[in-house]
């Protein structure tokens, strides 16, 4: 369920993470697309009480913490890291109530420290900005922190790494709940990639000359245009004019994932959109996306997305059609 999103803010608010969460969930795109408008609310300890930011400006929330009581998603932006006992007790209590009733909790960067102070990271897989990961682990030793990934999806808890990784996590949540077509519209209007895999590394070393990066970019473009074709690491290495071993190593250094992991993720992403927006059969989509067989397609799709292709189509193709029909009726009225 993703209809209402509440964003709690406290003093020391990080403006970029506040802005990206507001950009993804707060803008009404229904006027020019089939993206539904979210019930988006910014709340603070008191409605109308100014909240300081790290850059000297202020944010004035229109709502108090009661706005968190019924939201489907609580999106927690980054804020200045402080001792756990200095986070507002009222906010921590509101977060616990939200978790108890099954709301989805989404944090950006150091927002994970707020969730940790509320006891909501204990025993859970999570992440934060690589610079803060050691401190987060020290404070919450039972949390299963992965300092290398962009974001971690643990169902009703999604935590993201620093800065732009919050965009990836937010779009992932939209895609998970509403489908690829809607996530793609938001990404296109934000002028950002529609999907970066959560397991991609936060910080990628690039100890290679620019020419090698250009060569890898050519390979990625080549693969993107030919998802349905058969590819091997050896054939891609030959195209990049590298040995197989060097190519595999540098591909991971450039992208954070192996060539086959990258290719599979892109094929699944293409398949999701086809399931949502076309009437092509499972067999046809499997062939178009390069899976070779419907059985192999179902295997990879279910592993990546969590549900079978047919179930995904029933959920998201139907929703998209209903939204389009509703907008057509409204335009006639």
pLDDT at 188: 86
pLDDT at 211: 34
Q: What is the 3-state secondary structure (H, E, C) of the chain?
A: CCCEEEEECCCCECHHHHHHHHHHHHCCCCCCCCCCCCEEEEECCCCCCCEEECCCCEECCCECHHHHCCCCEEEECCECCCCHHHCCHHHHHHHHHHHHCCCEEEECCCHHHHHHHCCCCCCCEECCCCCCHHHHHHHCCCCEECCCECEEECCCEEEECCCCHHHHHHHHHHHHHHCHHHHHHHHHHHCCCCCCCCCCECCCCCCCCHHHHHHHHHHHHHHHHCCCCCCCHHHHHHHCCCCHHHHHHHHHHHHCCCHHHHHHHHHHHHHHHHHHHCCCCHHHHHHHCCCCCHHHHHHHHHHHHCCCHHHHHHHHHHHHHHHHHHHHHHHHC
Cβ atoms < 10 Å from Cβ of 301: 26
Which pLDDT tens digit goes with each residue over 131-166? 999 999 999 999 999 998 899 999 999 999 987 899
Structure tokens at 309: 């292709």
pTM: 0.73
Structure tokens at 247: 């190519």
Q: Is 109 in the active site?
A: yes
C-beta of residue 139 within 8 angstroms of C-beta of residue 113: yes
pLDDT at 180: 87
pLDDT at 5: 98
Radius of gyration for the chain, computed over Cα atoms and rounded to the nearest angstrom: 21
C-beta of residue 270 within 8 angstroms of C-beta of residue 286: no
C-beta of residue 268 within 8 angstroms of C-beta of residue 301: yes
Please state, in angstroms and rounded to a whole number, the distance separating the CA atoms of residues 70 and 77.
19
Please state, in angstroms and rounded to a whole number, the distance separating the CA atoms of residues 160 and 43.
21
Which of 43, 109, 126, 289 is catalytic? The answer is 109
Under-70 pLDDT residues of the chain? 194-213, 318-333
Cβ atoms < 10 Å from Cβ of 289: 23
């Amino acid at each position: 369920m993703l209809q209402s999103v509440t964003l709690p803010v406290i003093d020391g608010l990080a403006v970029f993470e506040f802005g990206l969460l507001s950009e993804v969930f707060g803008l009404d795109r229904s006027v020019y697309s089939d993206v539904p408008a979210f019930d988006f609310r910014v709340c603070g300890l008191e409605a109308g009480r100014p909240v300081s930011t790290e850059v000297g400006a202020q944010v004035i929330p229109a709502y108090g913490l009661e706005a968190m009581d019924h939201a489907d998603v609580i999106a927690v932006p980054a804020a200045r890291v402080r001792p756990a006992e200095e986070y507002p007790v009222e906010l921590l209590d509101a977060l616990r109530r939200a978790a108890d009733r099954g709301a989805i909790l989404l944090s950006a960067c150091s927002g994970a420290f707020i969730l940790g102070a509320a006891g909501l990271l204990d025993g859970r897989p999570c992440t934060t900005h690589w610079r803060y990961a050691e401190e987060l682990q020290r404070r919450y030793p039972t949390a299963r922190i992965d300092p290398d990934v962009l974001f971690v999806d643990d169902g009703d808890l999604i935590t993201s790494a620093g800065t732009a990784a919050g965009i990836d996590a937010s779009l992932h949540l939209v895609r998970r709940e509403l489908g690829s077509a809607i996530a793609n519209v938001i990404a296109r209007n934000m002028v950002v990639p529609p999907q970066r895999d959560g397991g991609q590394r936060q910080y990628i070393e690039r100890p290679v000359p620019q020419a090698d990066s250009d060569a890898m970019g050519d390979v990625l473009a080549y693969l993107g245009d030919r998802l349905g074709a058969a590819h091997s690491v050896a054939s891609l290495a030959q195209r990049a004019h590298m040995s197989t071993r060097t190519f595999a190593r540098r591909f991971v250094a450039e992208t954070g994932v192996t060539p086959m992991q990258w290719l599979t993720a892109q094929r699944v992403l293409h398949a999701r959109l086809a399931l949502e927006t076309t009437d092509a059969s499972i067999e046809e989509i499997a062939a178009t996306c390069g899976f070779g067989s419907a059985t192999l397609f179902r295997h990879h799709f279910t592993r990546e997305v969590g549900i079978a292709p047919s179930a995904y189509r029933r959920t998201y193709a139907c929703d998209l059609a209903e939204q389009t029909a509703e907008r057509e009726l409204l335009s006639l009225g």
